[in-house]
Structure 1
Amino acid sequence: MSAVLVGADVKLPSPLRSLKGTVEEPWQQVLADTAAQGLDGVLVRTLYELSPTLDAGLLREVADTAAGLGLYLELGVGKVNPYMAAELPEIRRLGDGSYVEGMARMIEAAAAIGCHELWTATGNFQAALPGLHKNDRYRRDAPWADQVAATQRLLEQLAPVLRAHGSHLNLETHEEITTPEVVRLVEAVGPDVLGIAFDSGNVYVHGETAEAAARRVAPYTRMCHLRDVAIVEGPETLDRYLVPCGEGTIDWAQVLGVLLAATPDLHLTVEPAGPRQPAMQIWYDDPRWRAAHPDLDPHELDAVLDCVGAYEHHVRSFDRPDAAALRAGGLFTREEFLRRSAGHLRSVVAAGDHTHPTKEYIR
């Protein structure tokens, strides 16, 4: 049996760009460090972090260097919700004043170096804002239905360039969008140009479990961000924390079985949390949250609520960190999160007699 492949998530320094238009931390070092850790690839979340000018020579050099180290290279191209486009001025600059053209140029640049599965998402999370309004789903200036409709129109504008290059934009199951909504977008615009990047940790904030969500998105899933969850009682409502795979409440044998049955060559991505992370709330008892989730399955929500007791059982039985420790943070570094997650996923895949690659991304 061949080994399961595992890639690396590397935080780029701030500021990201030098005067020459490349990342300040040499990308060569990023790739070398990834290989030295015994990992197998990287996903750069936004292409312009490598080159804000999309320098073709530089991008080709990056791809060739990755290949020479035996690493795969995958890319993301920013967000596709027009209501938060102002938060990404780099993309509009790439398009000489057009956000859509900036996205199109990134798709073309990625295709030129052989990257056709492209990460994207439909919103942001603003941790400093109060309550529900941390999440773009609950923006005060735009109903979520309007945001989804505008997102679909933007995706339809990008569909021709995606078709021309044989590429897919893969919509993450991000914290502002539910899995039924992601599936509807893919089906409306076309699975020949859109796919899904399944994030196992985000779905819980919508009253979804990773196991049920995986079944919904599996037919269209082309990328993954995998991490486990600990759901605990918080000061205001339920708090969701991210923990290494195998150290929360997700049934990984079930999740991976569903995903890999649908797409046997699917790459599995581990997205580690750092030593400090804000809790993400599940506002299940807020009437506004309920009204904002017309697709909610009450039985699935009950399963999410049951995760509180399931994690508490682990705390009592296996000495996992309790709510106070999770709030305090410092339980693991990003590297430890990756190592522990990769080890668990490898063991699950091996037990299922799978030989599919697992990877991480540069955020």
Structure 2
Amino acid sequence: MIGLGTYAFFWQHSDRVDEPLSLIGALQATRDQDVGLFQICDYAPLLVMSAAEIADAAAAARDLGLVIELGTKGVDPGHLEAFLRLADTFGAALVRSMLYAPESRPSLEQAERMLRTALPAYEASGVTLALETYEQVATDDLAGLVERIDSEHLGICLDPGNVVARLETPRAAVERCAPLTKNVHAKDFAFARQDGWVGFTYSGAPMGTGLHDYPHLLSAVRPDERGINQIVEHWLPWQGDPETTVTTEREWTRITLEYLRSTI
């Protein structure tokens, strides 16, 4: 299934626009684009919303007919337990996370112990935990950790663009993680020369125009065949003013949805 995530609304959610989009507003905008899946990922207000506000958001998602996934950072068992409760409220079958959180950087051995503590509750609830590929942890280390734990409810959230900052190639990350993948973050990326030709900027690009060999990912991962959701995200730099930035963000979403739909 193709879905949108909060990173597809990054600037629309931000305080750099006059009227930041609410979570329920993003849910409605997702349904307005004929998309039936939304991933609430690294959405800071979720952690401070009241129980009533969370219940309202979950009810809005149900009323709109949206499937919900959740996303956070860290593998502390208490934190993962809190997100499992949120998953129950939203009816979410997947929680994306990362090994590190702002206040926690466990070793691989510590992370393994934490995950082994947290996973039985996920397994009992039928919720999958997907750990994202990113530059702070070598892809081979992350994949090896998932393989050692060997649970049907633990896998990889594949985001090949992140690993470039570790001087890994997206293609290698895709091939290493394909059998373990439970979720995909779909975005394109490219390098652009800095002014004066002094270095490069690495950031997002409209889907299909950058360096991401997405057909290779589709061939290796087979998301449609395996029931793996593809979540639209963007790395869109600020475009100089709120109106231009929001317009561009929405246009990138339209382009990405058209691209992904054309592959089904």
After TM superposition, the score normalised by the length of structure 1 is 0.59
> Structure 1: how far apart are the matches of 2:31 and 2:140?
37
For 2:70, which of 66, 75, 82 is the aligned residue? 75
Unaligned runs of 5+ in 2: none
Equivalences for residues 137-156 of structure 1 within 5 A: 147-156=107-116
1:76-155 aligned at under 5 Å gives the runs 76-80=71-75, 100-123=77-100, 147-155=107-115
Residues 207-216 or 164-173, more deviating: 207-216
Which of these residues, 309, 332, 337, is aligned with residue 252 of structure 2?
337
Deviates more, 1:266-275 or 1:201-210: 201-210
Structure 1 distance, partners of 2:37, 2:237, is: 23
Secondary structure of the corresponding residue to residue 224 of structure 1: strand
Closer/same/farther in 2, CA of residues 116 and 37 from structure 1, 3 Å limit: closer
Q: Is the 8 A contact 2:188 2:212 kept in 1?
A: yes
- Does the Cα contact within 8 Å between 1:45 and 1:78 map onto a contact in 2? no
> How big is the shift at 1:150?
2.6
What is the match of residue 60 of structure 2? 65
Tell me the equivalent position of 1:32.
Answer: 28
Deviations 1:178-229 (A, max 9, x none): 2211111111223333111111211222333333321211111111112122
Tell me the distance in 2 between the aligned counterparts of 1:181 and 1:332.
39
Contact 1:274–1:332 (8 Å) recurs in 2: no
After superposition, give the CA deviation of every residue in 1:241-275 in whole Å (9 maximum; x if it has no partner): 22122011222212112111695311111111233
- Judge conservation of contact 1:47–1:75 (CA < 8 Å) in 2: no
Tell me how far apart the structure 1 counterparts of residues 130 and 229 of structure 2 sit (CA, whole Å).
Answer: 13
Mapped partners of 1:10, 1:183: distance in 2: 29
| Secondary structure of 2:9's aligned partner | coil
Do the aligned residues in 2 keep the contact of 1:232 with 1:239 (CA within 8 Å)?
yes
Q: Within the alignment, does 1:258 sit opposite 2:220 as a pair?
A: yes
Q: Cα distance, 1:236 vs. partner?
A: 7.2
1:44 aligns with 2:40: yes
What is the Cα deviation at residue 75 of structure 1?
A: 0.9
Post-superposition Cα deviations, 1:35-64, rounded to whole Å, max 9, x if no partner, equal 223333321114773353672x65444333
Matches of 1:157 and 1:212 in 2, distance apart? 30
Q: Deviations over 1:152-171 (max 9, x none)?
A: 22222212222222222211
Q: 1:269 and 1:53, CA in 2 relative to 1: closer, same or farther beyond 3 A?
A: closer
Is residue 268 of structure 1 aligned with residue 230 of structure 2? yes
Bigger Rg over Cα: 1
The 1-side partners of 2:49 and 2:250 are apart by: 30
Deviation per CA, 1:302-321: give whole Å up to 9, x if none.
Answer: xxxxxxxxxxxxxxxxxxxx
C-alpha contact 2:133 2:139 (8 A) present in aligned 1: yes
Q: What secondary structure is seen at the aligned counterpart in 1 of 2:184? A: strand
Identity %: 25
| Match status 1:242 vs 2:239 | no
> For residue 10 of structure 1, what is the amino acid of its counterpart?
F
Q: CA RMSD in A?
A: 3.4
Which stretch shows the higher mean deviation, 189-198 or 215-224?
189-198
What corresponds to 1:180 in structure 2?
A: 140
